[in-house]
Amino acid sequence: QVQLVEFGGGLVQPGGSLRLSCAASGSRFNSNTMAWYRRAPGKERELVATITSGSRTNYADSVKGRFVISRDNAKKTVYLQMNTLKPEDTAVYYCCALTGVAVYWGQGTQVTVSS
């Protein structure tokens, strides 16, 4: 069983930055692939970024060069550094753990990019 809690959402102006954090419980964090998804109003859920147990990363084209996913295995935490934010980045952001046998989700954190 894995529990995920996201932190760090909020309101930011276009061009600004935010860092999301996701704290995980469970003993196998190091071996899990972790991911960030988002769902904008009226749109389907979108994969934003992934990071494997070996810290190999992958990004959606829409965020490549602006967002950075990272992990701290000692703290069982995954981060999403979001830079040069745009209004179209407005969404609820969800942390996700892929254990190989199950997928776990956090409750989501709202990110709003607006002037």
Q: What's the confidence (pLDDT) of residue 51?
A: 98
Q: What's the confidence (pLDDT) of residue 26?
A: 79
Q: What's the confidence (pLDDT) of residue 103?
A: 93
Q: What's the confidence (pLDDT) of residue 17?
A: 98
Q: What's the confidence (pLDDT) of residue 12?
A: 98
DSSP character string of 11-76? EE-TT--EEEEEEE-SS-GGGSEEEEEEE-TTS--EEEEEE-TT--EEE-TTTTTTEEEEEETTTT
Counting as low any pLDDT under 70, the low residues of the chain are none
Q: What's the confidence (pLDDT) of residue 1?
A: 83
